[in-house]
Amino acid sequence: MQIVVIGGGICGSLILRKLSTLRNVSAVLVEAKCDLGQGVTKANSAIVHGGYDDPHGTVRAPLCVKGNALFTDLCEELNVPFKRTGSLVVARDNPDEIKQLQELLENGEKNGARGLRIIDKDELRKIEPNLSKDYEHALHCSSAGITEPWMIAIAAANIARMNGARVITGDPVTGCNISDGCVEDIILESGTRIPADCVINATGVHYNEVASIFGVVTPTVKLRKGQYILLDKLAGGMIRSIIFPTPSEEGKGKLVLPTVDRGVLLGPTSEKLDSYTPDDVATSDKGLRDVMNAADSLVPGISRNNWIIKSFAGLRPDTDERDFFIKADDRVKNFITVGAIRSPGLTAAPAIAELVVDEMIPQILEFSAEPKDRIVTRLPKTEKINELPFKEIARMIDDDPLHGKIVCQCNEVSEREIINAIREGARTIDGVKFRTRAGFGRCQGSFCGWRIAQILSRELGTELSEVKLNEKNTWILNGKVRP
Amino acid sequence: MKNTKTDVLVVGGGAGGMAAAVSAAKEGAHVILLEREDAVGGVLNQCIHNGFGLQFYQQELTGPEFSHKLEYELRERDVHVVCGSYVRHIDFSSNSAYVISPSGGEKITAGAIVIATGARERPFGALLIPGDRPAGIFPAGLAQRYVNLENHLPGNRALILGSGDIGLIMARRLTLEGMEVVAVVERMPYPGGLTRNVVQCLEDFGIPLLLSNTVTSVRGNGRLKSVEVSEVDEQFNPISGKARSFEVDTLVLSAGLIPQVEDYVRDLDTDPVNKGLSVSNTCETSARGIFAAGNNVAVFDLVDYVAAEGWIAGRHAAFHALGNAGQSQRIPVVRKGMVGVLVPNMVDPNEHLRIYLRLKAPMDKGKVIVRELEIEKDFVYGVPSEMLQLVVNKDKLDKIRDLERLTVEVLS
């Protein structure tokens, strides 16, 4: 039987990875964008949450706690960085905020969250000496961590491919055929028809739109925008943990947190959008100012001008229920929506994949899953020059000089790493950037942008002017100056 | 892994680094020069316009010509040049650099090191301009590289943010190569680049220069579609009702250069105004035997200044490495009045002194005063974009030997 996953974000890719291990299933993933993990998955806080703040009784609470527990193995198998840095919800010395910590602790314990405890001022100072002196109490969660969410989507799809799954990118779903209350096939923009015994709608902010193509009604998505500012590695020494203020109606608040490559991320805002504008990831002057002010009130002086290297915004799909919507449809029986994957969607994703593949699909399709005899469970380790000792690098260069050709000087990325990324599916400047971190550093590609474009054009056998930043209409160069 | 020893190691093969390597070699030192690109020359290679070399070579040259002259001297002096190399780390306690290149990993231990890593452009991300994140936004130097060396145009219709020299040069270049440049936008009330460039690159081509204006948002899903430009007040805040939109597919940024010192800030002092490494008039940094020259000390106007400083750095690096450095002394140099960027930050009275300074704001007339040396030099029409220069012979520095500081002041 053929199962089609629509959406190559973290949920869709992890579902595909699990499906690809089954003997009686042919798995296909269809992604509208030109690369994987470039929607909601890309622009969020990249946190693996502890699971203490999702209200007990929601769908998301147990999935978050379970997902958190799965992350160490997942990231090892996918060869994606993951650090359990621990998180702190910090409170001022007033009864309301202290009470909030207590409530979070109790809620977390009910959810089964691990590593929770309330710490005092002295311990807080010891962990975060640069935290504002206004904060005297904190809920510490040792199981919380940080990762690179887009790399999970990319790596999961790669491993699924190795196990025989098909991945189609840059081709949105535009139609379908349904008979007897079951989807028979889906139709892509290119005209391709893909027969489907089951369809999984894991399309991030687009789950309403995609469901409606199949005549399926889902809870109305309410978009929330989050604006972020990324700081240079020079800021990395300022903090060790993910630092949250006490939560509010808006959500978890604007944080200060480390990134896996030793930078610092500030934000997000949490702005309700009035209308459904899934392409609106514009930042605003006010939003960015709010982010800086909030960060400075947690860690004074952190939003220093010469540390800022980038700002961006992402959208999160929320609903009035403020909970995940993961459900097989009643009328179109072989259609499952994995929708409203708001925070903590990243954390919950591996647990969502288990839920969908191990429980929901066997139930609606009435089949028992059988594992393939031989599967790839682990991606081969790809060497990152940046993480290796000098002697090891020297040895590698002796075998392959391209390890010694450093293209991105800010993040120490070699030409070999860039070529490997292209061979593994990178087709654009951003595709290379998100896979290798080349161009992600303080010069933002000022020095290496042209060279990466050149390598792409050489490796893909295209003209330099065919190289794109990310999507189809993101051309960079407009033909030759002279023939 | 190779272990190599040399007298002088120069990091960076732009104008400053090449000049340093040549002068160190001229003093008899064995010199290794590390360059990250495939060829030496740095940004000179893509600066195909002329106007270089009037001071350093007393003739007008293009960027590549200037570079070729130094390159020729590198060869003549047997400087060992390693292109395509990357310095991973310098251990300043042993003066060892850990270098990666396609030919291998190498630990180079030197008697003296010259750091000539230049500057980088302030990228779009650092400007916090609100709006979308479309394709079509280029730092001016990257656009210049694409046009002049990679033979590709960045778009059809461009707006340039920032009137630094490279922005002005690119306005002319893009126009000559067939693009339409709708305006150059500058948030200050005066241009950021040299007057000659404003005249030759904008006025001669009828390109409007919008002073006291800035880009307040960029729009475009995919490729850039438009930018919003607004007039700003004295605090650079947009004035409401003074915004207009330009339909362009290309935004070129000339929003300032940043000295590249991040890899060294843990070990070497930096100057908070120059934002570069602190140096003496012998180009020595706060660490003995470590020298710096060029745009990683302060962003200079002219490559001629950079090469001249590199030359001094190389000479003194050679003296240090070969054990010929005399007793040296360091007297701090402090700013007063309208002095912004100022080089050097320390003075050794045993050597000639060249002072480079930038005004904080334009002045109709004024004077540069160095009280301790009884120097007063008048100037008219001083602008921040053009450095003022003072040269003091070392004979005159004897009298400051016992002073605690040297004060450089600009008064109107």
Kindly report, residue by residue over B223-278, the tens digit of the pLDDT. 999 999 999 999 999 999 999 999 999 999 999 999 999 999 999 999 999 999 99
Interface of B with A in 76-95 (CB under 8 A): 84, 86, 88-89
Q: Is B135 on the interface with A (CB under 8 A)?
A: yes
Q: What is residue B370's predicted lDDT score, i.e. its pLDDT? A: 96
β-partners of residue B226 are B219, B247
Contact between A285 and B130 using a beta-carbon 8 Å cutoff: yes
Q: CB B150 to CB A464 under 8 A?
A: yes
List the one residue out of B259, B248, B335, B265 whose CA is nearest residue B296: B259
Residue of A nearest to B148 (CA): A481
Residue B216: pLDDT over 80: yes
Q: Is B39 on the interface with A (CB under 8 A)?
A: no
Beta carbons of B154 and A394 less than 8 Å apart: no
What is the pLDDT at residue B255? 92
Alpha helices, H only, B56-132: 63-76
Along the 483 residues of chain A, how does pLDDT read in single tens digits? Answer: 999 999 999 999 999 999 999 999 999 999 999 999 999 999 899 999 999 999 999 999 999 999 999 999 999 999 999 999 999 999 999 999 999 999 999 999 999 999 999 999 999 999 999 999 999 999 999 999 999 999 999 999 999 999 999 999 999 999 999 999 999 999 999 999 999 999 999 999 999 999 999 999 999 999 999 999 999 999 999 999 999 999 988 788 999 999 999 999 999 999 999 999 999 999 999 999 999 999 999 999 999 988 999 999 999 999 999 999 999 999 999 999 999 999 999 999 999 999 999 999 999 999 888 999 999 999 988 889 999 999 999 999 999 999 999 999 999 999 999 999 999 999 999 999 999 999 999 999 999 999 999 999 999 999 999 999 999 999 999 989 998
Residues of B in Cβ contact (< 8 Å) with A230? 125
Per CB-CB distance under 8 Å, the chain B contacts of A477 are 146, 152-154
Segment 98-117 of chain B within 8 Å of chain A by CB:
98, 100-107
Q: What is the pLDDT of residues B305-320, one digit of tens each?
A: 999 999 999 999 999 9
Measured CA to CA, the distance from residue B292 to residue B20 in angstroms comes to 9
Show residues of chain A in contact with B86, CB under 8 Å: 404, 406, 409, 412
Distance of residue B134 Cα from the nearest chain A Cα, in angstroms: 7
- Helix, strand or coil for residue A210? helix
User: pLDDT for B291-303, tens place per residue?
Assistant: 999 999 999 999 9
Region B141-153: mean pLDDT is 97
- Supply the mean pLDDT for chain B: 96
- Predicted local distance difference test score (pLDDT) of residue A395: 96
Assess whether pLDDT exceeds 80 at residue B327. no
The reply to whether residue A479 touches residue B152, judged by beta carbons under 8 angstroms, is: yes
Active site residue A137: no
**Active-site option among A49, A140, A206, A403:** A49
Query: How many angstroms separate the CA atoms of B115 and A336, rounded?
Result: 60
CB distance from B271 to chain A under 8 Å?
no
Whether the pLDDT of residue B328 is over 80: the answer is no
Amino acid A248: pLDDT: 84
Query: Does the beta carbon of B362 lie under 8 angstroms from any beta carbon of chain A?
Result: no
**Cβ separation of A471 and B152 shorter than 8 Å?**
no
In A, minimum Cα distance to B37 occurs at A407
Residue A252 is predicted with a pLDDT of 87
Residue B75 has pLDDT above 80, yes or no: yes
Please tell me the distance from the alpha carbon of residue B304 to that of residue B302, in angstroms, as a whole number. 5
Cβ contact B121–A310 (<8 Å): no
CB contact under 8 Å between A310 and B130, yes or no, is no
Judge: B103–A397 Cβ closer than 8 Å, yes or no: yes
B121 inside 8 A of chain A by CB? yes
Q: Which of B85, B133, B137, B264 to mutate to test the interface with A (most CBs of A within 10 A)?
A: B133
Does residue B380 sit at the A interface (CB-CB below 8 Å)?
Answer: no
pLDDT at B142: 96
Cβ of A475 and B135 within 8 Å? yes
pTM for the predicted model, two decimal places: 0.96
The pair of structure tokens assigned to A9 is 């974000």
Chain A closest-CA separation from residue B364 CA (Å):
31
Task: Give me the helices (H) in A323-389, please.
Answer: 345-354, 361-365
- Residue A52, pLDDT score: 97
Q: Is B131 on the interface with A (CB under 8 A)?
A: yes
The pLDDT value recorded for residue B247 is 98
Q: Which residues of A touch B1 (CB under 8 A)?
A: 390-391, 394-395
Structure tokens at B338: 């309208």
CA nearest A395 in B: which residue? B1
**pLDDT at residue A367, rounded to an integer:** 85
DSSP class of B329: -
Q: Tokens 């502890």 — which residue?
A: A50
DSSP string, A268-314: ---EE-SS--TT---B-HHHHHHHHHHHHHHSTTTT-GGGEEEEEEE
Diameter of chain A measured on Cα atoms: 73
Residues of B in contact with A473 (CB under 8 A): 221-223
Rounded to whole angstroms, the Cα distance separating A261 from A235 reads: 12
Residues B24, B317 contacting (CB under 8 angstroms):
yes
Q: Can you name the CATH fold of B123-255?
A: FAD/NAD(P)-binding domain (3.50.50)
Q: Which residue is it, tokens 């996918």? A: A78
Give the bridge partners for B8, in sequence order: B31, B112
Which residues 310-339 of B are in CB contact (within 8 Å) with A? none
Contact across the interface for A474 and B258, Cβ inside 8 Å: no
Instruction: Quickly name the fold that domain A87-142+222-313 has.
Output: D-Amino Acid Oxidase; Chain A, domain 2 (3.30.9)
The domain ranges of chain A are 1-82+145-221+319-381, 87-142+222-313, 385-466
Binned at pLDDT 50, 70 and 90, residue B133 comes out as very high
Distance between CA atoms of residues B29 and B80, nearest Å: 11
DSSP symbols for A125-147: HHH-TTS-TTEEEEEEETT-EEE
Contact A338, A355 (CB under 8 A): no
The mean pLDDT of B154-177, rounded to a whole number, is: 97
In A, which residues are within 8 Å of B106 by CB distance?
394
Average pLDDT over residues B345-374: 96
CATH fold for the domain made of B1-120+257-325: FAD/NAD(P)-binding domain (3.50.50)
Whether B159 has a pLDDT exceeding 80, the answer reads yes
Q: Other CB atoms closer than 10 Å to residue B219's CB: what's the count? A: 15
CATH of domain A385-466: 1.10.10.1100
Under 8 Å CB-to-CB from A166, ≥6 apart: which residues?
A26, A27, A28, A29
- Helices within B109-156 (DSSP H only): 140-148
Strands A116-119 and B104-115 turn out to be unpaired
Q: Report ipTM (2 d.p.).
A: 0.96
Least CB-CB distance to B1: which of A308, A309, A394?
A394
- B61 by Cβ neighbours in 10 Å (0-12 / 13-18 / 19+) ranks as buried
Question: Does the domain formed by A1-82+145-221+319-381 have CATH 3.20.20.70?
Answer: no
pLDDT at A380: 87
Which 3 state secondary structure label does DSSP give A239? coil
Taking a contact as any Cβ pair under 8 Å apart, which residues of chain B between 206 and 225 contact chain A?
Answer: 216-217, 219, 221-223
* Contact criterion met (CB below 8 Å) for A425 and A31: no
CB contact under 8 A, A404 and B104: yes
